[in-house]
Structures are given as structure tokens and as C-alpha cells.
């Protein structure tokens, strides 16, 4: 069944709305300390750029065979041009709003001998201007009928704001067949996510959203119920790292999906992979449990690679063939 689900992903459409950013890597070695200050001098040997934030979510969908539409904002600067070029190279359809008042968000990581020395962020956090917000909603009105599933990819940079949600949710809910709305949450914005179809926090985000410590099964269930009370979301998927996932289909049905990771090198971007795979599965007509199980396989693939990696259908098929069927258990019926 899971192998059939992998094949079913191809060609389905998902819209991604959210914070775009550029991941910039400077990689080299350290052979001396600076005479100007007690800091290492990194001799750069390699430089690369990758799509970060909502762009990485869209890249995951494209690499799984889906058809993403990426909607976000970039600055009128060189980094914005680099980001647009990367979207083109990844085969992404985009509707990018150019914002001359703020720079493209860039995270520069300086790495020496496989260790991060420092990270430098260039960004300005805040909502879109009223004019840009109007432009965004013209884009949404034009494209909404073609996309059965929407991901809100919130990294707390301001694109997903109260002003946005106050217009977006009524627009979605007014449609005769509303698209499903999935959110990868940022703790600072939790109260914005009222009535969404699926929220996908990790353990830390679930703890902060519920205002409760989360450690074992009972506390996960309690935190999930607190999030339902706070947000009235329809479903909830709490990712538990090496312990798999807890899927709440409403408050009444809670199931545990074990992890499929054989080895863990880097959890960077695993949350992006989970929401991307789940959304594409739902767009393909899968039930939520099947879509989340597939997402768990995909996450197991990407944590075995270094950096913000993605999974392909071939990766998933190989993993499914090598590993036993997951033993999904009910935590509550």
C-alpha cells in the first residue's frame, strides 16, 4: 500500500505560502587565530547557496514529483536574484512579491572542519505593506481554484501575520470546496492558526504552544489536547524526533507512528520534509494516516543526509522495500 502511495504523488499540486530565505554557506578551514581579536580566521574554500524556509518546503514537493506553487517575498537585491535563480533551477513555479523596503532574508553559516563557527543573519522582520498585501491576495484569488492543499510555512519573519490570516482564512472558508490548510507553526504566532486543518509542531513547539512540559506519552496527549482547545484545529501531527510521530485525528483518535530513520546525521529541514510529504499525499487523495506514514519514511531519509536534504520517490521506494511495515499503535481511540 505504501509503495502505491509513493507512485501516487506524481503531478499533484500544492501551494506554499510563507517566509522565503536564502541559506548561504561559507566552508573552509582554520589554521590560525586573528591578531585583531581572539577569533579563528576561516580560510574559505567553498561557497554555496540553497533555498531555505518556504523554498525548501517547495523543493521537497518538487523532488517528490509534485507541482508546487511558491508564494513569498524577496528584496530588490542581489540575494533576491540568487533566490529566484535557485527556484528556477529547482523547477519551481513561483509568484514572488518584490519588496524594496527590506532585504531578502539570508542566513550565512560559516563552517570550518565540519563545525559551524558562526551564523550571520540579514533580515528585517515585519508584515507586508498594505499595497503588497493587496498584490498577494490578487495572486491568491487567481491561483486558489487550482490547489487543493495549501501549506503556510511560517518562520516568524512576518509574511504570515495577523493581517494576512484575517483575510486569508475567510477567503479560504468561503469557497464551495475549501482547500486544506496545513501549518508548520512558529511559537510566537500560535494564536494566528485558528481552525486550520493540520498543525505540524515538533516536540518543543508543541510544548510551547500548550504551555506544558512534553516528555512522554501522557504529556504529549495532554499537550495535544491543550493545542486543540487553544486553536480549534481539525488535526494535529506532533513530530517526536527519534520517537516518531503522534497523529491526532481530532481530539478523540490518537495514533503513534514509529520512526523509520536508520541513522541520523542531521535533522536540518526534517520538519519541511514532513509537512511537504503530508501535503502532497493529501493532494493525491490519501487519508491522513497514510500521508503522515509516508512523511515519516521521507523524514527518515533526509535525517540520514547532511544539510537541508530532500527525498525522491526512488529514495522512498528503497526505504519502504528495506524496512518492515510500521507498527502503528493507538494511544487513544
**DSSP strand E in the chain: where?**
13-18, 20-33, 40-53, 67-75, 93-99, 106-112, 115-122, 149-153, 180-184, 198-199, 235-239, 245-249, 253-257, 329-332
SS (H, E, C) 147-196: CCEEEEECCCCCCCCHHHHHHHHHHHHCCCCCCEEEEECCHHHHHHCCCC
Closest by CA to 17, choosing from 175, 123, 105, 144, is 144
Q: How far is CA 264 from CA 53, 261, 307, in A?
A: 21, 7, 12
Please identify which residue in the block is written with the cell numbers 507541482. Answer: 67
Closest by CA to 223, choosing from 237, 213, 233, is 213
Long-range contacts of 311-317 (CB under 8 A, 24+ apart): 311/60, 311/63, 311/64, 311/273, 311/277, 312/63, 312/64, 313/6, 313/7, 313/9, 313/10, 313/64, 313/65, 316/6, 316/64, 317/3, 317/6
Yes or no: say if 146 and 62 are a contact pair by the CB < 8 Å rule. Answer: no
Residue 66 has a CB neighbour count (10 Å cut-off) of 23
Please identify which residue in the block is written with the cell numbers 563545525. Answer: 115
**Residue 85 is a catalytic residue:** no
Catalytic residue among 23, 184, 272, 315: 272
Residues carrying an active site annotation: 272
Amino acid at each position: 500500500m505504501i509503495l502505491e502511495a509513493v507512485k501516487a504523488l506524481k503531478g499533484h499540486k500544492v501551494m506554499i505560502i510563507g517566509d522565503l530565505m536564502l541559506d548561504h554557506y561559507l566552508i573552509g578551514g582554520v589554521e590560525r587565530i586573528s591578531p585583531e581579536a581572539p577569533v579563528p580566521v576561516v580560510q574559505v574554500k567553498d561557497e554555496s547557496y540553497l533555498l531555505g524556509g518556504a523554498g525548501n518546503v517547495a523543493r521537497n514537493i518538487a523532488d517528490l514529483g509534485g507541482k508546487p506553487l511558491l508564494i513569498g517575498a524577496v528584496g530588490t537585491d542581489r540575494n533576491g536574484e540568487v533566490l529566484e535563480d535557485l527556484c528556477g533551477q529547482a523547477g519551481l513555479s513561483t509568484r514572488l512579491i518584490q519588496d524594496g523596503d527590506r532585504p531578502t532574508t539570508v542566513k550565512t553559516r560559516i563552517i570550518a572542519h565540519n563545525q559551524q563557527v558562526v551564523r550571520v543573519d540579514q533580515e528585517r522582520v515585519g508584515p507586508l505593506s498594505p499595497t503588497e498585501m493587496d498584490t498577494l491576495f490578487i495572486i491568491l484569488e487567481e491561483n486558489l481554484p487550482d490547489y487543493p492543499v495549501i501549506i503556510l510555512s511560517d518562520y516568524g519573519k512576518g509574511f504570515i501575520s495577523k493581517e494576512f490570516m484575517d483575510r486569508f482564512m475567510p477567503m479560504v472558508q468561503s469557497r464551495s470546496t475549501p482547500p486544506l490548510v496545513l501549518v508548520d507553526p512558529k511559537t510566537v504566532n500560535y494564536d494566528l492558526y485558528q481552525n486550520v486543518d493540520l498543525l505540524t509542531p515538533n516536540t518543543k513547539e508543541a510544548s510551547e504552544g500548550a504551555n506544558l512540559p512534553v516528555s512522554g506519552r501522557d504529556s504529549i496527549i495532554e499537550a495535544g489536547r491543550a493545542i486543540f482547545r487553544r486553536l480549534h484545529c481539525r488535526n494535529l501531527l506532533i513530530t517526536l524526533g527519534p520517537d516518531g510521530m503522534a497523529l491526532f485525528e481530532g481530539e478523540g483518535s490518537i495514533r503513534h507512528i514509529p520512526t523509520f530513520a536508520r541513522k541520523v546525521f542531521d535533522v536540518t529541514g526534517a520538519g519541511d520534509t514532513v509537512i511537504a510529504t503530508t501535503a502532497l499525499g493529501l493532494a493525491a487523495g490519501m487519508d491522513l494516516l497514510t500521508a503522515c506514514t509516508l512523511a515519516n519514511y521521507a523524514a527518515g531519509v533526509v535525517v540520514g543526509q547532511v544539510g537541508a536534504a530532500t527525498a525522491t520517490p526512488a529514495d522512498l521506494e528503497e526505504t519502504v522495500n528495506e524496512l518492515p511495515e510500521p507498527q502503528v499503535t493507538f494511544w487513544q481511540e
